[in-house]
Amino acid sequence: CEDPGCLKACPAPGAIVQYSNGIVDFVHENCIGCGYCIKGCPFNIPRISRVDHTAYKCTLCSDRVAVGQGPACAKACPTQAIVFGTKEEMKQHAEGRITDLKSRGYANAGLYDPPGVGGTHVMYVLHHADQPELYSGLPKEPRISPLVEAWKGITKYAGLTVLGVAAGVGLLHHLVMGPNRVSATDEENAERLVRSDRHDSA
């Protein structure tokens, strides 16, 4: 996704990253295995491993893409059902496939690139683009949950505001009233208790 819900939901710094080319990747060393990424993803893509209890998803072979190669699945596909390139190249490629499908009687053929998450970097040419749920439950209008948006958005800043106000009140108290001091009587009582405690244990 251009606007990944998994990244917004993740509480672990550096566990999910989005590279400049748009690929969203998981850094397993930083993952705490909480599963928030699953809740944040409108496509229900990430999975928690039962072996190491960290999150996994397809990385689009980010290591291969970084050195100018395409993902392994695209390279291995014998029918070129999976292709890789820039978003514009893929949209042009999709137009040709959609035209072909429509000429074969699939009137609702189209490109699945939902705007609800800012568009996706993985797109599908569907025979029935008006019913994406037919294809492994693809959501028709994927949206990031308002709870996910809020917990690192409004709530985060509200929490920081409360923390700032509390710190300000503490500073104001220190300036106006001065630091808290222990009275001489309380200090004497405390010393007496410590002495009697030592005497009892001896």
Instruction: Give the integer Cα–Cα distance in Å for 48 and 35.
Output: 7
- For the whole model, what pTM was predicted? 0.68
CA angle, 87 as apex, 58 and 146 as ends, to 5°? 60
How far is 43 from 32, CA to CA, in rounded Å? 21
pLDDT of 202: 58
Query: Mean pLDDT, consecutive 10-residue segments, the chain of 202 residues?
Result: 91 93 92 93 93 93 91 93 93 96 96 89 94 93 82 67 81 77 80 76 60
Domains and CATH numbers, the chain: 5-147 (3.30.70.20), 153-201 (no CATH)
Q: Give Cα separations from 141 to 107, 114, 129, 131, 185 (angstroms).
A: 21, 7, 12, 11, 70
R_g (Cα) of the chain, nearest Å: 28
